[in-house]
Structure 1
């Protein structure tokens, strides 16, 4: 008599299902050499399933190379890349089951919108009836129901971007790659598409890797941001933590504006005692600009005040930016425009103050 013993050990799939944040993508000590130049240097990174992660950095930082390695358009010189726990370093791009949106959109110019969306489904052998149904659903989802028979050249930039996103999502890949997806759009369209991309990510739940040099875009879209410099990872954190608690001078300056209080003409007051190698940093929006005669705040005992002279005031719609000379330094202060607010001009003497707890210390 054959007895089958029922195992009480969960299967690997069940373990993955119960894991709160299973890892979808891993870079394991990855280096990419172009001759003697390392475009990417020994980077290690884990991306959770369903996470929206942005790789941010200036030109030449290695961010695009990292995406091309993940997409399979180039192979690592050293190290390994894993997707769902399996090495893909030797797997060609067309077998990686990823949706990709390029900065140029890369739509087929001779095919209609509908045919552009059908193409990846055809390549997967999906039958015509199912293809048509999927295309109709996706066109409705990206608000292009009436544009299916148009060519890409007959669409606006924002519409082409939505087609590119729809094509990347229509075959239901587990991973979505975005290469400077909003770089070709004007400011208003970029802001609209940021909302659209966030909504699509929330709805489809794809593990998404986005590469950009646009700091605002990264802060708006991401669950976490990887900041790269010279082929290496400088810091990985949430948008809030990166902006409010940067670890280095480079990140403080790259991610928004920063007042680096190095060799300032006044003593920095802070609730934190830094090491001698650290430099004080203060974000412009943390600084309050006041007339010398203005009453002190109720929390004045928690604040530091300095006197200065306004060098310039820049009006930018909802914001005013002041450049104020304090001794040998010029501090930037930024405040939201409000009715009844006092406005200062070049040459005005002012008092700047900020909470001592808003001072941050960064590595040089």
Structure 2
């Protein structure tokens, strides 16, 4: 708690050994507080924190033997890359010869073997992030904590570093907890994802299960986009009956768009369709997005751009259709 404000409430979470767990949520959801509790920078007002079966709730951060990577990298600006990497080993009393060997190995592993003599200010953002990761991993900690690790990088470099982090996790096998608000990052890196909202856990599952079978409308919209199928001018049809109190959704990429009078699909008996009008078209490189007014509902359609395909403009009358098996029911 922060004064009268409860940042996280009834947080019960088990992280499996060797897994990559991501805590995902918007600002104010409690995800950063959860990570700070694990790191030991703040103490829980109640409850306990166990690492390897041992309570660490009262153990200060510097005694928890964890690797931590911050969004700001937090490298020592007055030390060379090599000295930045030696520091955590030196604090653990490791001999100079072993420190040198470990630094050489990790610098080679993160593709920085010729950069040991440089200062952090002489490195690019991606290189600094590699040093921060190397420093967190060099002492072989039982737990690695990542706080928005790629938030300061541009998109191309962020995608490159996602691959690097995934590769390092596979190689070292260290139990990793990452905090981010980036959906793509969470989907790419994680074995499981924890979606948080208002200080409580909304849903926990694998990336594929969370995306394909969200439990709530919030989870569906935070991890991707979701179209509500209510009030589209047609009663929702699905493979199973609607549970009480739930609403029907479908992902934008599951919708097929065609002209209003186009021939029906060969599997039309497995599909449902509605008629609508295109209100906006957005070109985004590999994908094109349409906003279509169907009944009183605005639906979003995403389709991969391909040569020769028809492009629809605002005002065009279109038919949207989808497989009934792609409809999901969620708690509003």
TM class by shorter chain equals over 0.9
1:68-107 aligned within 5 A: 68-107=36-75
Match of 1:282 among 237, 250, 266: 250
Higher relative contact order (CA 8 A, sep 6+): 2
Cα separation, 2, equivalents of 1:307 and 1:253? 24
Unmatched 5+ stretches in structure 2: none
Structure exhibiting the larger radius of gyration computed from Cα positions: 1
What are the Cα deviations for residues 194-236 of structure 1, in whole angstroms up to 9, with x where unaligned?
A: 0000000000000000000111110110000000111100100
Residue 354, structure 1, aligned to residue 327, structure 2: no
Offset, 1:352: 0.7
Q: How far off is 1:279 after superposition?
A: 0.5
Measured against aligned partners, the alpha-carbon deviations of 1:130-151 in whole angstroms (never above 9, x if no partner) come to: 1111101000000001111111
Matching residue within 78, 82, 85 for 1:117 = 85
1:241-290 Cα offsets, whole Å, 9 max, x none, are 11111111111111111102233332111111112300111100000011
- Bigger drift between 255-264 and 299-308 goes to 255-264
The within-5 A match list for 1:152-171 is: 152-171=120-139
Q: Can you list the C-alpha shifts for 1:14-42, whole angstroms capped at 9, x where unaligned?
A: xxxxxxxxxxxxxxxxxxx1111110101
Q: Distance in 2 between matches of 1:264 and 1:341?
A: 26
Distance 1:262 1:166 in 2: 50
Q: Secondary structure at the match of 2:202?
A: strand
Ranges of 4+ aligned residues in structure 1 off by more than 3 Å: none
Match of 1:172 among 114, 120, 140: 140
Match of 1:62 in 2: 30
Task: Map residues 245-324 of structure 1 onto 2, 5 A cutoff.
Answer: 245-324=213-292
Does 2:201 match 1:233? yes
Consecutive unaligned residues in structure 1, runs of 5 or more = 1-32
Return the alpha-carbon distance in structure 1 between the equivalents of residues 244 and 36 of structure 2. 40
Q: CA deviation at 1:307?
A: 1.0
Specify the alignment match of 2:307 in structure 1: 339
Residue 161 of structure 1 aligns to a residue whose secondary structure is helix
**Structure 1 counterpart of 2:181, from 196, 209, 213:** 213
Compute the RMSD of aligned alpha carbons: 0.8
Report which of the two has the higher share of strand. 1
What secondary structure sits across from 1:37 in the alignment?
coil
The 3-state SS of whatever aligns with 1:164 is: helix
Distance in structure 1 (CA, Å) of the matches to 2:319 and 2:82: 61
Q: Distance in 2 between matches of 1:182 and 1:140?
A: 21
| 1:188 aligned onto 2:175 | no
Q: Normalization by structure 1: what TM-score?
A: 0.90
Deviations 1:131-180 (A, max 9, x none): 11110100000000111111111111000000000000000101100000
Structure 1 residue 37 corresponds to structure 2 residue 5 = yes
SS in 1 for 2:7: strand
